[in-house]
């Protein structure tokens, strides 16, 4: 029994240790890099990831805006008050999430500004090293020639072939796992960087090594024959013979292996004044790690993607509950909703209008709605298109204004009908004795009727409130449509 217990504990300890190792590996960027050029590959991908983050956030704001527009048009085109109210609730929620996405996208450039400066300087320095490495793969040109004083020999060198810098592969024959940066960036605790605090850390300046064999005094002291470099024996110095050999070391030290640097907060400031025009002040590793730590707070943030929400999301959203309470329940707008009855009413309203499962929600309000056709008039012509195509193109204004105006006409008709009914005197059913005031007794039909002049006034009631109808509509429609409402009415 004790042996089994010990074995189990050992197994659990091994699993825990492996989990710890895996977790640690997941939080480190560039841990497989062995060369300065491996770091360069990671930094280039890091820069690309930051650009994709901005694109992602801008796209999120656009997608949320188009989804909100789809719900707004659907509310205007709804054939029942219940359906209209459900779409209006979603549109209100959409406005909130669109605004959040816009702010989310707008704050990123400032949050990444300093990190991008440091990153760009470091990439440029390493790219310059790579360019130098390729350009300085020189080779001798011809044989040595006499110097100006004819007491020395000079060797002309020429650039090697333009092959570019070839970064060595990893020891396992693979490439650096740069594709892991996107998943690790926001939570990484370490990044592997090379030491770039001095130019000699990433560029070795070229040297020419000249050696002579078989003699202690290989060079002729007179050098009196133009065009020839001679040995003491009178022979011309020829490259590649036993007399002389030349070598050119690599221009980039490959021994400078990237080391783990902690991504943490700090107070190191970016170079300013004359220092900002130099290279080395930007190469301090802490400058990059501190700016990366600063940017991580913003990179960790996220906002709702309306194109991907589901029924469970709506049920769990406190913001949406508040909207539903105001729009889809009989509770007083703005009242507290912490009572059991209030919570129950909200839950019921969400289920009745958007559920009871995600299948109904997707079909009626999101993926399915996006594919449904909608028809509206523009310049006297019927336009038929899907909701998705309408809200992502130029037809959004035409469709929204068309259905908004139809809705306004319906509201105006209701108001006019209600006023006519309220203005007409209630004479029906009155006896002859009580048929007075605005009523007259009709002897032929033996019934009480409204006087003709009163009926005439009731048919065309005067409206001295020039804002009454508009005010009513603004209350019913989203605020941002107020200008459309007024334009349509007048």
Annotated domain spans of the chain: 310-365
Question: Tokens 């959203």 — which residue?
Answer: 317
Reported as half-sphere exposure (CB side, CA atoms, 13 A), residue 90 has a value of 34
Burial code of 403-430, b = ≥16 C-beta within 10 A, e = fewer?
bbbebbeebeeeeeeeeeeebbbebeeb
C-alpha 231/C-alpha 238 separation (Å) is: 10
Q: How far apart are CA 291 and CA 268, in angstroms?
A: 9
Nearest to 308 by CA among 231, 261, 370, 351: 370
Pairing of strands 244-247, 209-212: antiparallel
CA–CA separation, 449 and 425 (whole Å): 9
- Of 205, 216, 217, 291, nearest to 250 (Cα)? 205
Radius of gyration, CA atoms only, the chain: 41
Expressed in percent and rounded to 5, the helix, strand and coil fractions of the chain are 55, 10, 35
| Packed helices 285-299 and 81-135: angle between N→C axes, nearest 10 degrees | 170
CA dist 486 and 358 (Å) reads 38
Which residues, 6+ apart, have CB-to-CB distance to 112 below 8 Å? Answer: 50, 53, 54, 295, 298
CB 261 within 8 A of CB 289: yes
Tell me the β-bridge partners of 158. Answer: 139
pLDDT tens digits, the chain, 490 residues: what are they? Answer: 445 444 544 544 544 444 444 444 458 999 999 988 899 999 999 999 999 999 999 999 999 999 999 999 999 999 899 999 999 999 999 999 999 999 999 999 999 999 999 999 999 988 887 777 767 667 777 777 766 555 566 777 777 677 667 788 998 999 999 999 999 999 999 999 999 887 777 666 666 555 555 544 555 555 545 545 666 565 666 666 645 555 555 555 555 789 999 999 999 999 999 999 999 999 999 999 999 999 999 999 999 999 999 999 999 999 999 999 999 998 888 888 888 899 999 999 999 999 999 999 999 999 999 999 999 998 889 999 999 988 877 788 888 888 888 888 887 777 777 776 666 677 877 788 888 878 888 888 888 888 764 444 444 433 333 323 233 333 334 434 443 433 443 3
Encoded tokens for 144: 């040595």
Tell me how crowded residue 201 is: count the other CB atoms within 10 A of its CB.
17
By residue count, the chain amounts to: 490
Q: Which residues of 203-227 are buried (b: 16+ CB within 10 A; e: fewer)?
A: bbeeeeeeeeeeeeebbbeebeeee
């Amino acid at each position: 029994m004790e042996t089994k217990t010990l074995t189990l504990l050992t197994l659990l300890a091994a699993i825990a240790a492996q989990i710890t190792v895996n977790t640690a590996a997941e939080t480190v960027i560039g841990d497989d890099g062995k060369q300065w050029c491996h770091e360069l590959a990671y930094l280039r991908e890091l820069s690309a990831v930051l650009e994709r983050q901005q694109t992602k956030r801008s796209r999120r704001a656009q997608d949320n805006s188009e989804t909100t527009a789809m719900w707004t048009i659907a509310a205007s085109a709804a054939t029942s008050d219940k359906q209209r109210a459900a779409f209006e609730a979603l549109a209100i929620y959409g406005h909130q999430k669109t605004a959040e996405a816009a702010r989310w996208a707008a704050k990123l450039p400032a949050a990444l500004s300093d990190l991008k400066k440091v990153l760009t300087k470091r990439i440029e320095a390493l790219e310059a090293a790579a360019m130098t490495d390729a350009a300085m793969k020189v080779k001798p040109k011809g044989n040595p020639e006499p110097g100006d004083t004819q007491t020395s020999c000079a060797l002309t060198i020429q650039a090697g072939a333009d092959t570019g810098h070839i970064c060595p592969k990893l020891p396992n024959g693979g490439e650096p796992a740069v594709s892991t940066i996107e998943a690790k960036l926001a939570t990484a605790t370490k990044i592997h960087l090379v030491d770039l605090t001095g130019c000699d850390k990433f560029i070795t300046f070229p040297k020419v090594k000249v050696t002579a064999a078989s003699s202690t005094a290989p060079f002729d002291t007179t050098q009196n024959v133009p065009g020839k470099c001679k040995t003491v024996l009178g022979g011309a110095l020829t490259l590649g013979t036993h007399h002389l050999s030349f070598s050119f070391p690599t221009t980039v030290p490959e021994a400078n292996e990237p080391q783990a640097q902690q991504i943490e907060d700090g107070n190191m400031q970016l170079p300013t004044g004359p220092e900002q025009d130099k290279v080395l002040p930007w190469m301090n590793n802490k400058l990059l790690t501190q700016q990366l730590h600063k940017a991580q707070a913003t990179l960790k943030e996220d906002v709702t993607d309306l194109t991907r929400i589901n029924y469970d999301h709506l049920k769990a959203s406190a913001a949406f509950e508040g909207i539903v309470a105001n729009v889809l329940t009989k509770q007083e707008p703005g009242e507290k909703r912490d009572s059991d009855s209030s919570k129950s009413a909200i839950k019921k309203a969400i289920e009745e209008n958007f559920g009871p499962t995600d299948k109904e929600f997707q079909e009626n309000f999101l993926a399915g709605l996006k594919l449904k056709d909608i028809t509206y008039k523009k310049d006297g012509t019927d336009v038929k298109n899907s909701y998705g195509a309408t809200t992502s193109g130029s037809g959004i204004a035409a469709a929204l204004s068309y259905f908004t105006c139809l809705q306004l006409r319906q509201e105006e008709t209701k108001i006019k009908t209600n006023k006519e009914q309220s203005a007409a005197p209630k004479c029906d059913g009155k006896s002859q004795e009580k048929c007075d005031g605005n009523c007259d007794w009709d002897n032929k039909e033996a019934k009480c009727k409204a006087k003709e002049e009163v009926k005439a006034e009731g048919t065309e009631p005067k409206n001295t409130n020039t804002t009454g109808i508009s005010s009513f509509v603004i209350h019913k429609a989203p605020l941002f449509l107020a200008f459309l409402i007024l334009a349509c009415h007048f």
